[in-house]
Amino acid sequence: MRIDYLTLFPEMFETLNHSIMKRSQDKGIVTLNPVNFRAFSNNKHQQVDDYPYGGGQGMVLKPEPVFSAVQSLEVTEETRIILMCPQGERFDQAKAEELAHAEHLIFICGHYEGYDERIRTELVTDEISLGDFVLTGGELAAMTMTDAIVRLIPDVLGNEVSHEDDSFSSGLLEHPQYTRPADYNGLQVPAVLLSGNHKLIEEWRHHESLKRTYERRPDLLESYPLTAADIQYLQTLGYQE
């Protein structure tokens, strides 16, 4: 996968040159490329924004630098050009899994008040928001999405199934995890995890995922395919269909 970032602050993306993101680049699995679109300004002062027609507060990103920057990249019909925008579709695990199958992503990271509408209508394939809040720019959101997407690409985590039990991947929140020592200051690891009985362990983990989801994110249960046994267990916790 190749990911390009149109940004006015390419140095911010140094954050991605560490840990798993760095290893995935070193292994040639993904290429991450910040592009300063100020270099594509046709203004001698390299201006990339201007006042909005009709008046109003703030400055708006001009179309020319953004269009020219995208055109400088190897864009194909399969390229996903993503506008980071609070008006866009809310990013979630399902979207991360969808984008993890793409070969080329371009993130347009805005700043200032907004974008010239022609960028939105003529250039982008996806408008995505990280959540119902506003950031000063799209860089942090793009990096967060990159982490969520790249870790799903085969061989990035080193274990093909290591992400499958993550919260949201299965539709439920992840069950509790424990490691050694089995007794820490009187705090005991659940006995079932020490039993060696894999069937009982899987059942315990599933029940704990159901419990945690019911207690913390009951809205997720509305779309999860609950079995009769799941419903019976949840009813012991107070769940009502």
CA distance 109 to 85: 9
Q: Which of 32, 33, 22 is nearest to 156 (CA)?
A: 22
Active-site choice (64, 98, 113, 147): 113
Q: Which of 151, 203, 212, 230 is catalytic?
A: 151
Distance CA 162, CA 175 (A): 14
Q: Report the distance separating Cα 73 and Cα 79, nearest Å.
A: 10
Given the residues 97, 165, 166, 174, select the one marked as catalytic: 166
Within 62-156, strands assigned E span 80-90, 104-108, 114-115, 126-129
Instruction: State which H helix or E strand residue 72 sits in.
Output: none
Q: Catalytic site residue 181? A: no
**49, 65, 86, 139: which is the annotated catalytic residue?**
86
Alpha carbon distance 5, 144 (integer Å): 13
151 is catalytic: yes
Q: Name 153's Cβ contacts closer than 8 Å, sequence gap at least 6.
A: 1, 24, 29, 30, 100
Active site residues: 86, 113, 151, 166
